[in-house]
Amino acid sequence: MQAPLAFAAAPGFRAAMTDARPTPGVMQTLAPGIRRLLAPNPSPMTHWGTNTHILGEGAVTVLDPGPAIRAHYAAILAGLAPGERVARVLVSHPHLDHSPLARPLAEASDARVSGFGPPEAGRSAVMTDLAARGLASGGEGVDHGFAPDQRIEDGERIEIGNGATLEAVWTPGHFAGHLSFALGDVVFTGDHVMGWASTLISPPDGDLTAFLASCHRLAARKARLFLPAHGAPVTDPAARLDWLLAHRRNREAEILAALAQGPATPEALARAIYTDTPAALLPAAARNVFAHLIDLTTRDITRASPQIAADATFERIGT
Ligand SMILES: [Zn+2]
């Protein structure tokens, strides 16, 4: 596999860098050793669907094999070149649009499944406590049975053939055990940074405090390109991270402004703030607001009554 520096010169690079939706089931070469296959699972939460990435050549690594859709499973195998085989299956995080095909693909190929750990791995003390007391609800879309053969730690290096090495970068926030993977100055950002919108942060898997820290960590890497699991490649990683951080700061300011009117629940705040959001997406918006309120409460800016919970009433301290 050529160095990722060959990226910009690769055939198809410019086409793949556009926001145009790829055709599901059609393998695209983004660069030598980096292929993308779109799964047919578009939705308001997945945008055009899940991008499965195939890394290396010959004995390949499949990153985020995707949802339990037979046609996508078949397309992954059919899209490989003659003589190629799946040597490793990597999972950024165990959500149902990323991990369900990991086990069948690994078993069919005599490969191993690698990921951060079972779904609860990596949670902060606050989130572990919320989950244990059943106060966070959440848990939407989790692949509860996910159990990797091999657990990957932050900073771990993974050989993917031809001298290329992936570096695991633990990026909790969207999901506690969320991993991004750096290949030179290209980073596969999973759902941490997506190509089309800010990611959902739904406690106890989603953790806003961790999300902000992960954004700063990724920013420090000064990557040239992000390849997300949903949406188009992000060609301006620094600007994108700045936007995400600003977006969260703005949201926090809106929540504090709304709380200046009086104590409120996450649901009521979501209705007051997300005025142009379709009703069907308001529950997800309330989850995002709840994530902010947990962060604000742990920073002693808000207080929860009777305790931190999805249906608690939150108020500003000292106003
Ligand atoms: Zn996803």
Rounded Cα distance, 224 and 226, in Å: 7
Structure tokens at 254: 């809106």
| pLDDT given for residue 17 in this prediction | 58
> What are the residues whose beta carbons fall under 8 Å from the beta carbon of 107, sequence distance 6 or more?
none
For residue 221, pLDDT over 70 is answered with: yes
Rounded to a whole number of angstroms, the CA Rg of the chain reads 20
Give, for 59, the enclosing helix (H) or strand (E).
strand 59-63
- 18-72, pLDDT tens digit by residue? 667 899 999 999 999 999 999 999 988 888 999 999 999 999 999 999 999 999 9
The residue ranges of every structural domain in the chain are 7-235, 249-316
For residues 13 and 32, is the Cβ–Cβ distance under 8 A?
no
166 Cβ partners below 8 Å, 6+ apart?
A: 55, 61, 90, 157, 158, 160, 181, 182, 183
Give the residue from 39, 133, 172, 16 showing the smallest Cα distance to 7.
16
Intra-chain end-to-end CA distance of the chain, in Å: 59
Cα(174) to centroid of ligand 1, in Å? 9
pLDDT at 117: 97
Q: Answer whether residue 12 shows pLDDT above 50.
A: no
pTM of the model: 0.92
Output the CA 261–ligand 1 centroid distance in Å.
Answer: 35
Q: Residue 55: what are its φ and ψ, rounded to 5°?
A: -110, 140
- Residue 96 has which token pair? 């149902």
Write the pLDDT tens digit of every residue in 61-99: 999 999 999 999 999 999 999 999 999 999 999 999 999
Residue 154 CA, ligand 1 centroid: distance in Å: 20
- Domain 7-235: homologous superfamily in CATH: Ribonuclease Z/Hydroxyacylglutathione hydrolase-like (3.60.15.10)
38 C-alpha to ligand 1 centroid (Å): 12
User: 10 Cβ partners below 8 Å, 6+ apart?
Assistant: 29, 30, 31, 32
CA of 269 to the centre of ligand 1 (A): 25
CA of 199 relative to ligand 1 center, distance in Å = 9
Q: What is the CATH number of domain 249-316?
A: 1.10.10
